């Protein structure tokens, strides 16, 4: 069988990071080809190169479709060539009808006067192709996420897609919807459509795919027929690197329990879906507790909810800080209780970009720098300077707007802001994301230093080496539950991945 | 690392001087624009625009919009908007006149009532915006209609007049000459004192301090300007009381925005509401308060307007919200939130009032005022966006 798609020697660099390094990826005509890898392995980047999101010229390497070299300058180009990509975050227009969504790229909808009946009839034709039968006038907003996904697939078919890319299609689906999707994929395969299937759920991959390609650290590890693979083999390929970076971990004497969470559940206010189910764990003084899990496992939801910052959810369960029960309803309650949360998206949740360093630093602890209800500039500047010196912040002066700082220095400002409150519990959500290696090491040192001073630290990270290198203990989350707990000695990448993907313990 | 934070404290390195130059440029644009307006109108009115009588009129006329612009600055910093202020001005002025003319209330009681009702209306708006999450544009658009309707209803569509002397005095009286000069000199001394203290403080903290010539030169220029204005006003009847009210409240609110946690929180909420919320800032309560302050200031503006006109009419204050927003924007306040300065907004109100006043003195027809004011607004916002784009490159 010939290859419908070949990507050869693809290299893509971002400032300071080589996201893809000489990647080769070949897909046979009419197969379902799974693409596996850890978060950050380069799967999404590779698909963005393929679909023209990163246009020709911004990467090195060649792409061939049916043996012909192609150069996509935009998403439009790749769509013309028959490539359709369906993202994890759906791109349907909720307020529009099913028919309009399916035919959004079709000329029928761009006529000066739209023939609605024709539009509806045409949309039914495409729906039938994938075994759907929804009233074409229904607003897409009213459909389940699974159905919305199928609408996107139907839409992809209308543009005569030869290759459909599905990025984590089943994370938000119920089991029956997953089954429906699987059947449709098999159906499409029978019709000769090629599928690239990106998924963390290895059981699904083994069930549906014909071949598996594994990416790790931006490189192709292998491509194998599914028949030769097992879950264990795929996991080993996905994580199999050694600890190359150095972590300034030091063995510490741990203190008493500082935080105890029991049977903590979070329900989504809108959908009533349970996002976190019965999470229970404890944290000791001076301990670094790593939290691992795949995207969508509920890590961020659990901890933002714990500090009262998750507005879409209602929680139940108990939270004890140093032995006394706390009812944390909003972030200021959390600050009161001595809990600080450094969010994963520092630009969105951590900083006021238009403000200077000093003002950002003192934002969560203004009371400390006030005299008679008036901000004392001298005290404010002194405090901000002290703490930022401890963080080894590099800036021309503290009146520079934080938007002008590098990612690593911005993260230090966020850390300063929270450390000014002298927290007893510090929750760090992806503290080193998008930061260069040198700054990473400095942040690790700060973490260890704080732990030595007795601060209980929760380190949420998608980078397994980081979790393994820094933590005294690792919690693994999967599907909104705490799937397991591993001590520093027993934790390995394989064990974490097995727990995180819902597989059995190896 | 200490060195890293401090090595620019002399303000001599190219990096820091560039920054401060950029910031100052924005402030100077406002002053240059104002001087341009003064020169143009001075020329076309044969100097009449700059007569003592007219300067006095100008400062009285700008007061109502300036008061609204002070409150509106806070609202805009929060990235909200208040379209109802014109109606609040009308309604509170109307109620004040009714209480005095029909029910014989004393002036002080009437003033308190108007401000309290303004604050209550602000509370109503703020509650809908903050606790019911209805967009401020809609809430205050509804308020604009509702409160205008109530005004017409309670006044039966009549003009209510005349008011007591003491009420009129709030909108029309002047400070004695001597008191005017004394206040000006106190103001100048304070300006020098605070500049001196601020410089010392910053120096001891190792922060950038502009050179002596720059900081004291600026204060000297302001002082000369202040004395000149007071002299001109005194050649007529003295400093108008409404202008003094605006200055007092402007200084208080400027202090609140710069020196208190409430003010700091407003900038943080407007700049990044999500980060502000996670920093433990109560967004809802602060939003509510800003609308209450806006309402109270609109109530006070209603008193000034009614006192000056010696009557309350059903159309009083119509479209003042637009003038207030325009004043803020001309003063560099961003509609996107997180950015704004009360004193500059007052300056913006002065520019708006100058255009009205100058063009009517030139005997140009009223339609020209709309066209020119609209164009200036558009230009001011474009300038702001343009300069921001340049700053980010």
pLDDT in tens, B228-264: 999 999 999 999 999 999 999 999 999 999 999 999 9
Instruction: Let me know: does B81 contact B140? Beta carbons within 8 Å.
Output: yes
Q: Lowest-pLDDT range, A306-315, B89-98, B223-232?
A: A306-315
Q: Over the stretch A347-382, which tens digit does the pLDDT of each residue have?
A: 889 999 989 999 999 999 998 999 888 998 888 999
Q: What is the mean pLDDT of chain B?
A: 88
**Beta strand A257-268 pairing with A68-70:** unpaired
Q: What is the pLDDT of residue A458?
A: 96
| pLDDT of A87 over the 50 cut | yes
Task: Kindly report the nearest CA distance between residue A343 and chain B, in angstroms.
Answer: 9
Whether the CB of A386 is below 8 Å from some CB of chain B: the reply is no
Confidence of residue B20 (pLDDT cuts 50, 70, 90): very low
Q: Over the stretch A159-171, which tens digit does the pLDDT of each residue have?
A: 788 899 998 887 6
Q: What is the pLDDT of residue A92?
A: 83
B260/A375 touch (CB, cutoff 8 Å), yes or no = yes
Q: What is the pLDDT of residue A437?
A: 60
Instruction: Let me know: does B70 contact B249? Beta carbons within 8 Å.
Output: yes
Of A52-61, A211-220, B241-250, B366-375, give the range with the top mean pLDDT: B241-250
Whether the CB of B17 is below 8 Å from some CB of chain A: the reply is no
Chain B residues inside the 8 Å CB shell of A378: 201, 204-205
Confidence of residue B2 (pLDDT cuts 50, 70, 90): very low
Chain B residues inside the 8 Å CB shell of A354: 271, 338-339
For chain B, the straight-line distance linking the first and the last C-alpha, in angstroms and rounded, comes to: 28
Which three-class secondary structure state does DSSP give residue A314? strand
Q: What is the pLDDT of residue A265?
A: 92
Chain B residues inside the 8 Å CB shell of A369: none
Whether the CB of B259 is below 8 Å from some CB of chain A: the reply is yes
| Distance between CA atoms of residues A123 and A500, nearest Å | 39
| pLDDT of A434 over the 80 cut | no
| pLDDT of A143 over the 70 cut | yes
Q: Over the stretch A469-479, which tens digit does the pLDDT of each residue have?
A: 899 999 999 98
Chain A residues inside the 8 Å CB shell of B271: 352-355
| pLDDT of A441 over the 70 cut | yes
Task: Kindly report the nearest CA distance between residue A348 and chain B, in angstroms.
Answer: 7
Q: What is the pLDDT of residue B213?
A: 87
Long-range contacts of B21-30 (CB under 8 A, 24+ apart): B22/B391, B25/B387, B26/B332, B26/B387, B27/B344, B29/B383, B30/B330, B30/B331, B30/B332, B30/B344, B30/B347, B30/B348, B30/B351
Helical pair B241-259 and B52-77, crossing angle rounded to 10 deg: 30
B278/A378 touch (CB, cutoff 8 Å), yes or no = no
Closest by Cα among B284, B364, B388, B359 to B58: B359
Instruction: Considering only residues B9 and A379, tell me which one the structure prediction assigns the higher pLDDT.
Output: A379
Backbone angles phi, psi at A136, to 5 degrees: -65, -10
Chain A residues inside the 8 Å CB shell of B277: 309, 330-331
B205/A377 touch (CB, cutoff 8 Å), yes or no = yes
Residues of chain A numbered 264-323 and touching chain B (CB < 8 Å): 307, 309
Chain A residues inside the 8 Å CB shell of B278: 307, 309, 331, 341, 343, 349-350
B267/A341 touch (CB, cutoff 8 Å), yes or no = no
Q: What is the pLDDT of residue B159?
A: 94
Residues of chain B numbered 143-202 and touching chain A (CB < 8 Å): 201
Q: What is the pLDDT of residue B19?
A: 43
Mean pLDDT within B134-150? 97
| Distance between CA atoms of residues A497 and A485, nearest Å | 12
| Distance between CA atoms of residues B84 and B151, nearest Å | 13
| pLDDT of A506 over the 70 cut | no
Q: What is the pLDDT of residue A113?
A: 83
Minimum Cα–Cα distance from A418: chain B residue: B279
Confidence of residue A334 (pLDDT cuts 50, 70, 90): very high
| pLDDT of A317 over the 80 cut | yes
Instruction: Considering only residues B295 and A143, tell me which one the structure prediction assigns the higher pLDDT.
Output: B295
Q: What is the pLDDT of residue A314?
A: 85
Chain A residues inside the 8 Å CB shell of B15: 396
| Distance between CA atoms of residues B361 and B75, nearest Å | 33
Whether the CB of A108 is below 8 Å from some CB of chain B: the reply is no
Instruction: Considering only residues B19 and A368, tell me which one the structure prediction assigns the higher pLDDT.
Output: A368
| pLDDT of B22 over the 60 cut | no
| pLDDT of A37 over the 90 cut | no
For residue B225, the tally of other CB atoms under 10 A from its CB is 11
Mean pLDDT within B29-37? 84
| pLDDT of A244 over the 60 cut | no
Closest by Cα among A391, A403, A279 to A347: A403
| Distance between CA atoms of residues B303 and B67, nearest Å | 11
A391 burial type by CB count under 10 A (0-12 exposed, 13-18 middle, 19+ buried): buried
DSSP B164: P
Half-sphere exposure of A70 (CA within 13 A, CB side): 25
Q: What is the mean pLDDT of chain A?
A: 87
Q: What is the pLDDT of residue B249?
A: 97
Q: What percent of chain A is predicted at pLDDT more than 70?
A: 95
| pLDDT of A404 over the 90 cut | no
Model ipTM value: 0.83
Whether the CB of A379 is below 8 Å from some CB of chain B: the reply is no
For residue B161, the tally of other CB atoms under 10 A from its CB is 13
Q: What is the pLDDT of residue B26?
A: 61
**Beta strand A339-342 pairing with A288-293:** unpaired
Minimum Cα–Cα distance from B337: chain A residue: A354
Which three-class secondary structure state does DSSP give residue A25? strand
Task: Kindly report the nearest CA distance between residue A340 and chain B, in angstroms.
Answer: 9
Q: What is the pLDDT of residue B112?
A: 97
| Distance between CA atoms of residues A27 and A223, nearest Å | 10
| pLDDT of A293 over the 90 cut | no
Instruction: Let me know: does A339 contact A428? Beta carbons within 8 Å.
Output: no
Q: What is the pLDDT of residue B271?
A: 93
Whether the CB of B205 is below 8 Å from some CB of chain A: the reply is yes
Helical H segments across A164-288, by residue range: 175-190, 202-208, 231-239
Q: Over the stretch B269-290, which tens digit does the pLDDT of each residue have?
A: 999 999 999 999 999 999 999 9
Q: What is the pLDDT of residue A75?
A: 85
Assigned token pair, A301: 């939801």
Mind giving me the DSSP string for B358-373? HHHHTT--HHHHHHHH
Mean pLDDT within B187-206? 89
| pLDDT of B14 over the 50 cut | no
| pLDDT of A250 over the 90 cut | no
């Amino acid at each position: 069988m010939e290859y419908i798609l070949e990507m050869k020697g693809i290299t893509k660099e971002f400032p300071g990071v080589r996201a893809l390094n000489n990647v080769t990826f070949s897909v046979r005509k009419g197969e379902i080809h799974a693409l596996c890898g850890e978060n950050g392995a380069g799967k999404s980047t590779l698909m963005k190169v393929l679909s023209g999101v990163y246009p020709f010229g911004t990467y090195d390497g060649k792409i061939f479709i049916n043996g012909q070299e192609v150069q996509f300058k935009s998403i439009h180009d790749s769509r013309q060539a028959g490539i359709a990509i369906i993202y994890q975050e759906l791109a349907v227009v909720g307020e529009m009808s099913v028919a309009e969504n399916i035919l959004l790229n079709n000329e029928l909808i761009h006529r000066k006067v739209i023939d609605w009946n024709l539009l509806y009839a045409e949309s039914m034709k495409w729906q039938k192709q994938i075994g759907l039968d929804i009233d074409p006038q229904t607003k897409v907003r009213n459909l389940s996420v699974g159905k919305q996904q199928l609408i996107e697939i139907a839409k992809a078919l209308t543009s005569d897609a030869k290759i459909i890319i599905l990025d984590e299609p089943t994370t938000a689906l119920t089991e029956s919807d997953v089954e429906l999707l699987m059947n449709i994929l098999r159906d499409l395969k029978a019709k000769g459509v090629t599928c690239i299937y990106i998924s963390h759920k290895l059981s699904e991959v083994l069930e549906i795919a014909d071949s598996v390609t594994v990416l790790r650290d931006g490189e192709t590890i292998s491509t194998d027929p599914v028949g030769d693979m097992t879950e264990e083999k795929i996991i080993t390929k996905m994580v199999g690197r050694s600890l190359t970076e150095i972590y300034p971990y030091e063995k510490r004497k741990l203190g008493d329990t500082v935080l105890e969470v029991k049977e903590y559940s979070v329900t989504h206010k809108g959908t009533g879906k349970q996002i976190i189910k019965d999470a229970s764990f404890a944290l000791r003084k001076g301990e670094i507790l790593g939290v691992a899990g795949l995207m969508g496992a509920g890590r961020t939801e659990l901890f933002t909810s714990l500090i009262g910052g998750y507005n879409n959810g209602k929680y139940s369960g108990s939270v004890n800080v140093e032995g006394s029960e706390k009812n944390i309803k909003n972030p200021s309650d959390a600050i009161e209780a001595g809990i600080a949360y450094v969010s994963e998206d520092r630009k969105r949740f951590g900083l006021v970009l238009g403000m200077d360093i000093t003002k950002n630093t003192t934002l969560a602890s203004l009371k400390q720098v006030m005299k008679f209800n008036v901000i004392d500039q001298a005290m404010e500047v002194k405090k901000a300077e002290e703490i930022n010196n401890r963080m080894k912040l590099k800036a021309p002066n503290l009146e520079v707007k934080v938007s002008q700082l590098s990612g690593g220095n911005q993260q230090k400002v966020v850390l300063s802001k929270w450390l000014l409150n002298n927290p007893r519990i510090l929750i760090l959500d992806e503290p080193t994301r998008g930061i260069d290696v040198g700054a990473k090491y400095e942040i690790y040192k700060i973490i260890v230093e704080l732990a030595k001073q007795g601060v209980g630290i929760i380190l949420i990270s998608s980078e397994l080496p980081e979790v393994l290198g820094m933590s005294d203990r690792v919690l693994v989350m999967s599907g909104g539950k705490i799937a397991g707990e591993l001590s520093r000695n027993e934790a390995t990448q394989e064990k974490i991945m097995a727990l995180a993907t819902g597989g059995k313990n190896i | 690392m200490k060195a890293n934070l401090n090595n620019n404290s002399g303000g001599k390195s190219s990096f820091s001087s560039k920054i401060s130059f950029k910031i100052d440029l924005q402030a100077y644009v406002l002053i240059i624009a104002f001087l341009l307006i003064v020169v143009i109108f001075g020329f076309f009115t044969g100097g009449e625009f700059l007569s003592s009588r007219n300067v006095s009129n100008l400062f009285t006329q700008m007061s109502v919009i300036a008061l609204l612009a002070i409150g509106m600055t806070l609202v805009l910093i929060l990235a909200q908007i208040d379209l109802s202020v014109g109606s609040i001005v009308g309604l509170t002025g109307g109620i004040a006149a009714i209480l005095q003319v029909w029910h014989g209330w004393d002036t002080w009681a009437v003033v308190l009532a108007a401000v309290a009702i303004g604050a209550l209306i602000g509370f109503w708006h703020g509650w809908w915006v903050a606790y019911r999450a209805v967009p401020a544009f809609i809430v205050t658009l509804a308020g604009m209609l509702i409160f205008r309707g109530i005004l017409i209803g309670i006044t039966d569509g009549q003009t209510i007049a005349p008011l007591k002397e003491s009420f009129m005095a709030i909108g029309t009286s002047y400070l004695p000459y001597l008191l005017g000069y004394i206040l000006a000199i106190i103001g100048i001394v304070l300006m020098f004192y605070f500049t001196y203290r601020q410089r010392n403080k910053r120096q001891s903290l190792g922060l950038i301090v502009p050179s002596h010539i720059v900081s004291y030169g600026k204060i000297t220029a302001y002082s000369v300007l202040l004395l000149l204005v007071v002299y001109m006003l005194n050649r007529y009847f003295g400093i108008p009381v409404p202008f003094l009210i605006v200055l007092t409240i402007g200084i208080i609110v400027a202090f609140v925005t710069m020196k208190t946690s409430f003010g700091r929180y407003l900038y943080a909420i407007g700049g990044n509401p999500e980060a502000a919320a996670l920093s433990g800032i109560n967004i809802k309560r602060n939003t509510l308060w800003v609308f209450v302050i806006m309402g109270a200031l609109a109530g006070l503006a209603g008193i000034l307007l009614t006192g000056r006109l010696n009557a309350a009419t059903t159309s009083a204050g119509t479209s003042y919200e637009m003038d207030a927003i325009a004043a803020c924007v001309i003063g560099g306040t961003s509609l996107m939130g997180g950015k704004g300065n009360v004193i500059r907004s007052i300056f913006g109100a002065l520019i708006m009032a100058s255009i009205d006043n100058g063009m009517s003195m030139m005997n140009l027809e009223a339609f020209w005022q709309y066209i020119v004011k609209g164009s200036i607004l558009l230009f001011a916002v474009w300038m702001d966006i343009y300069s921001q784009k340049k700053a980010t490159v």
